[in-house]
A and B are shown apart, each in its own frame.
Chain A
Amino acid sequence: GENVEQHPSTLSVQEGDSAVIKCTYSDSASNYFPWYKQELGKGPQLIIDIRSNVGEKKDQRIAVTLNKTAKHFSLHITETQPEDSAVYFCAALDNYGQNFVFGPGTRLSVLP
């Protein structure tokens, strides 16, 4: 089945700097890759997603890039703010195209 790896597990940046989180997946048939942000005591919230027919997508300070050949995708956050501090999860659709397989998460801390 699908396997998703995520790095780094923790990331600390200064406010205003950029943060990059990388994920790799195993199933070349996967075609949808969402990123979720989870704050303490809350459920994951979708922040951006990308489909396999595009290589990059941007939404204000957040962008995602996808390299299907290498089977990896990355989340880029620019001009980080303290409220960006949270755990971020990447995910990929599994072999059957029904269920998401999540990465283990990255705890991002933005230091003021």
Chain B
Amino acid sequence: GAGVSQSPRYKVAKRGQDVALRCDPISGHVSLFWYQQALGQGPEFLTYFQNEAQLDKSGLPSDRFFAERPEGSVSTLKIQRTQQEDSAVYLCASSLMPSGGATDTQYFGPGTRLTVL
């Protein structure tokens, strides 16, 4: 079946622009995660949704970062007033079960590579 998809795959923004990154999780998956992956590094957690509820946003680096999942399926990560340090690959992952002590497999999308000039 279809995996996690993300769009766009590549985004170039001028410093100060707002961007919106989309994630389509696997159908029926309850949990959705956003990660930021800097060049040559491992993914770093940004935020977690259980259905439409954002249960953890402790990894968001600043108040310029905002995520939503209004109907419990598709999610959007928005970055306002982009800065050069925001340049990274943004990964979305979904899992079937709720998190919180669970060890359910996370399935990752291909990521969106954001470059801020």
Enumerate chain A interface residues (CB-CB to B < 8 A).
4, 6, 31-32, 34, 36, 41-46, 49, 51, 89, 91, 93-94, 96-105
- Chain B interface: which size bin? 20 to 34
Enumerate chain B interface residues (CB-CB to A < 8 A).
4, 33, 40-45, 48, 55-56, 59, 91, 93, 99-103, 105-111
Which one of B41, B48, B91, B110 lies within 8 Å of A99 (CB-CB)?
B48
Q: Which residue of A lies closest to B108 (CB)?
A: A43
Which one of A4, A32, A43, A105 lies within 8 Å of B103 (CB-CB)?
A32
Check if A105 sits within 8 Å of B109, measured CB to CB. no
- The answer to whether A100 and B111 touch (CB under 8 A), given A32-B103, A43-B91, A93-B103, is no
Check if A42 sits within 8 Å of B110, measured CB to CB. yes
Bound state CA distance, A46 and B111, in angstroms? 15
Check if B110 sits within 8 Å of A102, measured CB to CB. no
Check if B111 sits within 8 Å of A43, measured CB to CB. yes
Chain A neighbourhood of B101, CB < 8 A: 97-98
Chain B neighbourhood of A93, CB < 8 A: 103
Q: Which residue of A lies closest to B55 (CB)?
A: A98
